[in-house]
Amino acid sequence: MADKKGNSKNNRRRNNGDEDYNPKFRKIRKKVCVMCANKDFVLDYKNADQLKKFVNEKGKILPRRATGACAKHQRDITLAVKRARTIAVLPFTQN
Ligand SMILES: [Zn+2]
């Protein structure tokens, strides 16, 4: 069995001083939920500028992997965006 550690072809590391760099497991910066991190961040369904951060250009609600919100706050975001749509603060769709 060949030793995979000696495989120079797959050992194309970015020379940033990180010895444990593995291209298969790229370092993912753990996103912190904005509402957990910032306790005085109040989600307001009437605040379009705030809610625009949680929808894409089509008006769709971004998934948790994009917003970085925790499960509890993602539910709050969803609710706030849906409320905002019904009162015409946010569009249901664009283009
Ligand atoms: Zn949270």
Between the CA of 80 and the centroid of ligand 1 the distance, in Å, is 14
Structure tokens at 38: 């910032």
The model's pTM is 0.68
Between the CA of 18 and the centroid of ligand 1 the distance, in Å, is 31
Between the CA of 36 and the centroid of ligand 1 the distance, in Å, is 4
Q: CATH second-level architecture of 32-95?
A: Irregular (4.10)
Between the CA of 38 and the centroid of ligand 1 the distance, in Å, is 9
User: 7-60, pLDDT tens digit by residue?
Assistant: 545 555 555 556 666 667 676 677 789 999 999 999 999 999 999 999 999 999
Give the contacts of 50 (CB within 8 A, at least 6 positions apart): 43, 44
Tell me the C-alpha to C-alpha distance, in Å, between residue 4 and each of 1, 66, 72, 90. Answer: 9, 34, 42, 52
Between the CA of 10 and the centroid of ligand 1 the distance, in Å, is 38
User: 41-52, pLDDT tens digit by residue?
Assistant: 999 999 999 999
